[in-house]
Structure 1
Amino acid sequence: MISDRYFEDLVNRDENTWLEFKSYWYWDASNNKKEEGWNELLKDLSAMFNTRSYDDQVNGRKYIIFGYDEKTRNHNNYREDRHGNDITDLIDINQLKDNLVKKLKSRFLCYPLFKGSSDLYDIESILEIKAINYKDTTNLVLIIHDAPYLLQSKSNTGKGTRSGDIWLRKLKSDKTPENDIADHAQVSELLEIIRDIKLKSYPEKETTILKVVEAFRDKNLPGADIISKANERSYTTGICYEIYSVESEFSNPIYFLYFTKYTSQNKTFDHIKNLDLINKNEKVFILLDTVNKKGGKIDIDRISYIFKEFYKKSESYYIENFSLIKLYEELFNNDVFYKGQTLNKNFIKPYTEESSDKTADLLINEWYTSNNHPLLVLKGSGGCGKTTVVKNFIKSLYSSQSNINVLYINSHEIINDIMKMDKIEDIFDFYSILATKNNLRKKFNKKLLALSSDNGNLVVVLDGIDEVIAKKGSDFDLNALIESIFNDYSGNLNKTKVIITCRDFFWDESQNIGNLKTLRLKPFDQKLAEKYFAKVFNNESKKIRQSMAIASDFKINDGKDEPESYIPYILDMIKENIVIDDNSLNLELKTEVLQYSSNVHDYLVAKSCEREIIKLDNLEIDEQIKIFNRIAIEYDGILNERHLENILDSMHATKNLNKFKDHPLLVHDNGNLSFRYDFFATYFKCLYLYSFFANEEFDSIDSTKSNLLIRQISFGNEFTLMLKTRLGTSFSEKLKEIILFLVNNGYQINHIQDGNRLMLLSSALFILLLDMRNELDKNERTNLMREIYEKDGYIENLSIVDLHSDSKNIIFDFKGMKFNNCLFNNYDRFSECTFDEHTIFKNTVFKPKLSHKGLNTNISNFNIDFSTCNTVGLDDLLEKKIALKDMKKDETRRNVKRIISYFWNNGYFTDKLEREAKNRFKNIYQTFENLCDIGVILAKKQSTSQKRQDTLYYISDDYLDLRKIFEENNSCYELESIIKKLESY
C-alpha cells in the first residue's frame, strides 16, 4: 500500500519520466470520446511502462496519479469529470483493471520475447491500481512495476501509433516530460536494462521441488501419492511458493513448502496461512533457495522461527542440504568422488580467447556462479592445459564449499570399459562404469544422480571427451549427452554444473544447445612461458634461458599480427628434455604429405601454404612442400635467389619466384633466403624421408637419400622420433621387409659406395627399425638382427654406428653368435651386450666409444680373431672383463613403479591406510621403507571411519609429477631421480 506520507511526497514533486499527473480521467461521463480516450491512455501507459526509473527512492516503480492538478495543486475526485458527473467506468476499480489488462493484451505484445512468448507475462501483477483518500477527496494511482520486457504496438491503432512502435517518456529541453517513439539506440539501451531486470527478478526458467519430493517419497514412503496443493509465482508481488503433500493411507500427510529466491517471505507466509493451504498440525518441510535474488544469503533461522510459531512440526532446510542429508549423503562417501587431492604445484593460470584481462579460472568461476547455465565446454588444442585448469578449479571449489561433491571422470582411464558398452549418452553411463570398476556397494541410481546435480550438491567433470568421440564413434551420441544435461540433469532447481573438456578437433560448435557456455584456452605467450620456467626452476636464470631457447623452435606463429605463443604441454616436456607434438586441429587442408590434424608443425606449415594459395595464387600445398624439401636437403635451409630460381625452373614454376621470396616460412634478405626458423631445415628433411618411405620409392634410392638417412638417423634422436611418429609403429613390419630386400640385393644399390651401402643397410635403416620397435626386449631384438643379417651361421655386413640409448638399454644377446665383416663404432652399449665362449668376431672393426661410463663387459680375448679385426675401441674393455648387467637397478625400477601405481586412482594420487599398504608390499617392503626414508612417501594422522586417529600414507607434493608415468610417458625426471637415490641403499 502507498502510505499517506509517501503519497504526499509524490504529489509534491514535479512531473518527470516516472511520474505523471492527470487532473481528470481520459473521457467524461458522456462517453462521447471513450475510444479516443482509451487510445490516449494506452499510449501514456505504454510510454510510462517502457521508461526505466533511475531514482532509487521509487525502487523501479512508475506512477500515474489521477485527480491531481500539478499547476493549481488542487485534488479532484478521480471518479468525476470536470463537470462533476460520475464516470461509470471508474466505479469498480477491479473491473477497470480487468478492462485495462484486456486492452493492453489486444494492442501490445512484449519485446523481446519472454519465456518464448510474446504474451504480456504477469501483466496483472506488474500493474496496480489504488484509490487514495487524501484531503477530503479520492485520487487514483496507477502503479507500474519494472517488467522483463517492453510494450510494443501490435497494429496501427490510435492517432500516430504504428505497428512495432515502442513508446517512452523523455525530458524536453525545458526538463518537462513528453511521450516519444524510441529510436534504435534508445531501444538498445532499454534492452540492456531489461537484461539486468530479468537477471535480478524474473527467471527465464521456473524452479520446482517436485523431483526432490519424488525422491523423498521413493526412499521413505514408496507407493504414496504426491499431491500438488498450490503453486503461486508472482515475481512482482513476491508471492512465490510451491506446496506439495505426500499422502498415504498408512501415514499422516507430509507437506513440502518451497520458498524461492524471489519470495517475499512475510507476505507469502501470511498468504499461505490466511488461505489455510497447509494443515498446521502436520509435518512440514520448508525448502529454501540458499540466496535471495540480490545475492545475499537467505536467513533460514528467521524463517524457521516465523513458521514454528504457527506450524509446530515444521523443519526448514536449504534445498541442497535437505537433499544431501535426507536422500543421498552416504552415497558420496567413496573414492569415486574427488576428495580434494593436491595438484600440480607448477600451475600457471592461462587466458582464453574470450578475455585478455581475466584468466581462465576466473571465467570458469563466473560461469559457476551464474544462474541456469548448466554446461561449460572448455576447448583447446591438445596439450594447452584444459585438464590442469579444470583440476585447479575443482580444487579451489572443493576447498571453499563444505557441501560440494565432485565427480571427476577421466575418459582416458576408463576408455577400455567404455568400449565394452553398446551406447554412451548420459552422465549416469560414465558414473556406472566408475562405480562398477570400484566395486561400490551403495550406488546412485540415475534419478538421484540427476537430482544431486540439479540441487547443486554435485559438480560433474567429463575430462577428455574427445577420446570417447574418437574411439566410440557413432555409439557415442554427443547430442544426446548434451540434451540430457539440459533436460534430465537441470530440470528443477537450475543448479546443475557440468564441465566438459574437449579438443577443438572433436567439438562441433554448432551444437550450441540452451545456455551452453564455451571457453577456448589460449596457449602461453612468452611472458607466461618464462613465468612457467621460472617457477619450475626456482628462478634459476640460466635454466630459464636454456629452456626458452629450446622452446623457440616450437613457438606458434599463425601468420597474423599476433604474438608468438607456446603450448604448455610442450613446455613441460622441454623441462624433461623431451619434446612431444600433441595437437589436434579441426581443418580441411588439401595435402597428402602433412599430418596437420595431429602435428602442430604440420598445421602451421599447411596453414601458411594455404594462405599463400588464397592470397597469391601460389602452388598447391604439397608442391610448396616439395620446394621446401629441396631447400632443406640441397642447401640445408640457406640459399640465394638464383638457387631458388633453379629449383622452381626444374619444377616449371618459375613464375612463383616472387611469391616464395615473400613466403611466411622464409626470410628474404639482400638476395639470400633462409627458413624463418632453423628447426625447419630438419623438419623438411623429415618430411622428405617420410614421403620416400610412405610412397615405397625404394627402387629410387640414390646417394642423396642414402646420405640423408645415414646423417639423420640415430637411435632416440629428435629426427628419428619425428620420422617414426609420422610413419607410425605399424610401419615397422614393412621396414623390416625393406631391409631384408636390400640386404639381399633386391634393389640395385650397387651404385652407392661400399661404405655408405653398409651404413645405409644397418646404421641407418636397422637403427630406425630398432627405434620403431623399442618395446622389444634383448632376446627379441637379437632375433630381429639374426633374421635380417645372419647368413650361413654368420652375422654379415652389420654396421652399428653412433647408437646411443640413454633412455633405454639397446643391447643384444651375442651368446653363440659369429660375426663377419661388421662395424661397431660409437655404440656405447656394446659392452653391455652378453657374450659367451662361443661368440666370435672376424673381419670386424671396433671403434670407441663402446661402453657406457663406469661399466665393464664380459667380452674376452677368446671372442676376437685378432688377425682380422681392428680392436682399438675394445682394448680398455678387454682388460676389465667384468660382467655388466645391473639387475638390481632394473628390479628397483619395477618395484618403485609397482608401489607408486598403488597410490594412483582415477587421475589422482590418493591416501592409503598404513596397515593395508604394509600388507600389500610385505614381499618388497624394503623398497617401500626406502621410499619413505627419502621422502617420496609420507605419513600423517587422520580420523577415518574405522579409527579416530589412523595413519595414512600419501605421495609427497614434491613428487606429484610422477603422474606422468601413468598419463604421458614411461618415465619422468622424478622417477629417474628416485632410482638414482635408491642406488645407495
Structure 2
Amino acid sequence: MSLQTSEKIKELNKWVLQAFEDSVVEDILNNARKAGEALCKAVILHHYDEIKGSKIILGEEKINGTVKRERQLSFSGLIDVVVYEQDENYIIVKPKSVRNKIKNYLETIRIHGNPASHDTNGPNDLSSLADVKFTKFALVQLISWFYKDFITKPIPQRMLQYIGGIESNYIDTEKETSLYEDVRGLDIVKIQYPKQKVLLQAKVNDPQKKISYEFVTVEVANSLLIGYVFVRKNISISITLQHFLDELTCNLANLNICSPRVISSDTGKEVNRIASIQDKFKEITNDSLFKITNFFYIDDFVWQYCLSEYAKLLDLDLENEQYFVDQELFQLQDNQSIELKPSLQYMGQIINSPEKQEPVNIVVGRAGVGKTTFCEQVVSLVNGIDKKRALLISSTDLRNANADFTVKSLTDLYRLFVKVNEVDSTEALEYNNFEINISCGNLVLIIDGLDEIESTLKEKFDLDSFLKSAISLNEAYKSCSIIITSRDYYLDRYILKDSVAVFFLRGFSNELVDKYLAKRLSKQRVKDAQKYLSIFDIADQSRHTPLYLSLVCDLVDRDEYNEDALPDISESSYYYSKSKLDNLIYKLLQREIGKQSLEINCDDYFELIVEISIRHQGEISKNDLNEYIAIFFPSIEPTSNIESDKYTQFYISPLFSYDRSRDTFKIRYDFVDLWAKVRFVLSNFEREVLDGDLKRLLVEIYDGSSVLLEELIEMKNIAQTDYIDHGSNILQKLINDYQESNKKTILTRKAISGLLYFVLSDKSKKTKSDYSNYLVRLFRSDKLNRLSIFGKFFPLDFRGIQVHEGFFEQFHDFEKCEFPSDCTVFYYSTFKGINPKFSATLNSLLFDSTCNLNEDLRRAFDDSLSSAGNLSSQVRTNLYRILKVGYRSGSFSWKSESIYKMAPIKGHVSLVEYLRFLTLEGILEKRSERAGNGDGFIVSANFKDAAKNLIANNIVKPELETAIKKILKDFHGL
C-alpha cells in the first residue's frame, strides 16, 4: 500500500472517529467488525453478477501480474470498485471522495432523520430507501475494513447497534418474510370472541413492496362482520393500507386497525405510529369507512379486550414487607460484575423500556439473600404500573408438583402451576391469552426459584427449550419481561444463553445494614444487633445476608433472660458449633426459650421444627401442633383454656409463620426449612437410624440434582464423620427393604442412589477406581447386590466387580466407565435410558441373559460389534467411504467439507471426529480451493497410493493399517 493511500486512510479514520465521538452515527454500526469481506461480496454480487468468483481487497494499487481486463463500477456514488482479472479475480475497493460523501450522508441524517429506519409512505420512497440503505451498508463495510486493518483503538460499545436488517434486505430476499413478526391476529380476535365465527381472511407478506398485514373478521350476527387489520413493522404504511382496501370485498359494520409499537433507531424513543396510520388511512379511504374505523396499539387492544377482566384476579394480596430495604443490583458483563442502581429502580426501567433485546432477566444470589422478597416487591411494582400485571410463580407453589408432561415452555409452566394449585377455570388465563399478553408486555412473568422448580421436576423440565420459548415470544414485539430468580450455584447455566441478562443480588452493604437496623430496631437495640453481627461474623465479602440480619434482629427482639440455665451448643446433637448459621439459630432459640420460660432445650425445639418441616411436609395444622406439644412437652403449661390459643408461646416463635385462612403453621424461612432437613439427615446418618423420613429425604436427592444434596455436601467438612462406615450400615438396611413386600421397590432404589450420591460426593477429585473402591467398601463385597444409580452419576471402573439385581436409569456417564473385555459383569439387572454411544470395551458379553436392556442399548448391540476383528472391519469400511468422496476416474480431487460430511459411516465415532483424525494424521489436507466455496478436503500426496488401493483393490497398505490401529486405540480403547 502506498504512503499516499495510508495517509488518506489515517485522515478518514480520524474524521470517522470524531464523528463517532459526537454520537452522529450511533445507528450506523452494529458489529461492523464482524460484517467482513463475505458479506460485502454478497452485496456486490447482488448488484453485479458478472464479477462472481472474485476476492475482495481494500487498496489502490494493482495486483502484481498481467492485467487482462479492467473495469470500474460505482456504488451509490460512495466507492469505486475496480475489477482486475488474472489467474484469480480480485475486486479492489477504492474510496471515492469518501470524506465528502460521508459528511453529506450524515448531514442528511442529522437534518431529516434516518430514512432507512422508518416506515415509508409512498412508492417513490422505495427507490430512495433502497439507495439510502445500500449507501449506508457500503459505508458500514468500508469503515469496518478501516477498523479491522488500520485502527487499534477499540470500537465504542454504543456504536455496535445496527446492521441486523441490512443483511436480510440485501443478501437473501427469500428470507425477508422473517423480518415480519407474528402478530397472532387470529388468536387475539378469537380470545375476544370465543363463541363467534372468526376467520383469517388474508395474511399478506410482500417484502419487496413493503406490504405485510393480517385481516381477520368476526361474524357477530347474521352477515354482520367486524374487521380487524393487524399491520406489522418495517412496512410502507400507505401501500399496505391501499393493498388492504383494494382487496377488501366484504361489507364491514366496524373496522379496527391494530399496530405494534415502533421504536426509532435514531432516538431510541417510541414514534407515534398510530397517528401516522390514522392520517394515511384518512387520505386514501372514503369518509363512511373512516368513521367506523378505530385505531389501536396491539398491547392496548389486548389489554382492553383480552386481559382486563382478569386484571383484578392477578392482583396478589402479598403481605407488606414492613422493613424492606432495597439492595443494589449487579450485572454480569464480560465476566465482570457491574454495580447498577437499586434493584427495584433498575427493574422498573427494564419493565418500562420500549424495546427489549434480552427478554429473560435472571437474578441469582446465595440462599437467604432476599430473592423471594425481591420477587414480591417487583410484583407490587408491576401492579402499580398502568396496564400491566405481574404473574408470580414460586417454587413453593410447585414444591410437591408431579408433572405428567415435560415443561418445555413458559406456557407449560403456567399450565402446571394452574393444575397443581387448582386455580379455578374462571381465574386461569387461556394459554393463547397468556402467551400474547406475555409477548406484548402486558403480563410480566416472575418466577421465584427456577433452580428449585427444576430440582422438583427433574427430567420433566427442559431448561434450553424453556428459555427458547421466552425468546420466541419476544420476537413479535420485543416487549417481553420475564424475571427469574435462582441460586448462584446455577450461574453457569445462564451466562452463555442468548437473550438472557444475568444480574446478582449480593446482600446489604454496611450502609444498607444501618438503614435496615434503623427501620427495624430502637437505637439501643441497634447497638445490640451490631454487637451480634460482630460476634457471628456472617458477612460475605463485606455484604450481609438479609436472612441472617433478620435472624439477628429477631434475636435482639427477645427479652433478656438467665443464660446460665441453658446448655452450650457443643452439648447439642443437632447444631454444629463450627457453623455460623447454627450458632445464630441456637442463640435465637435460647433467647426464645428463656423469654417464654419453656422447660425445653434447643434440641427439643429442633425436633419440633423437624415435625413441621419433614414429618408434615412443611405445614402443620394448629390442632396437630397442639397435640405434638402436649405429648412431647408435657411440662409445658397451656397459656389458656381456649383450644385455638392453647400454646401461644409456640405460635409466636420467630421461626414460624401462621396462615390464618388455613389455620396452619409453616417454617418462616425457606432456608431454615432446608437447614433442618440437612441437620436431620446428618444426625440420623451419624446414629445409623433409617426411618421413613430419612428414606424420603434420600429419595429427594436420588439423581444428584437436589438443592438438599448441595447443602449436605457443603456440611460434610463441618460434620466430619466416617461416611463410608455409617453409610454402609444404612445401605444394608435399605437393601433389606427389598425383602419386605409392603415396600415400594422403586423408592428403595432411589433411596440407595441418593445415599450413594451423598456418601461419594465432595469437592475432592477422584478417579473411576476410587469411586469403585468406595462402592466395594459400602457394599462390603466386590459383588454389588442391588446397586441402583439414577442420573449423572460418577464414572466407575467395573473391572473386578459384579452387579446383581442392579438398576440403572438415565446414567449419563455409563459410557465413560471402564469395563472388562472378557467376562460378565451384570446379572438380573435393569437398564433404562442408557445412552448407546459406548466405548468398544462395552460389549454384549458384559450382560448376562437375565438382564433387561433398554431398547436403544439393545439396538446398539445389534448394530455394532462385540469383537476387535469386527470393529477393525468397520473402521476400514468407514475409511473407504470417506476417502472415496474425492475419488473419480483413478485420481483424487478436492471436495467441499459439506460434501465430505455426507459420507455414511457406522459406529459411535462421529464423522466429524474421523475427519479431524485424518487431517491431523496427514491423510487428508484441509484447505479452501475456490473463493466462496468454503473449506474442503483432498487426499494428500503421501497417501494417494494407499487410498487408491483401498478403494480400487480392497487392499489395506501399511500406511492405512497404521491409521486403523490408531483409530482402534484412540477411539475404542483396543
* TM-score of the superposed pair, with normalisation by structure 2: 0.44
Flag the structure with higher helix content. 2
TM-score by length of 1: 0.44
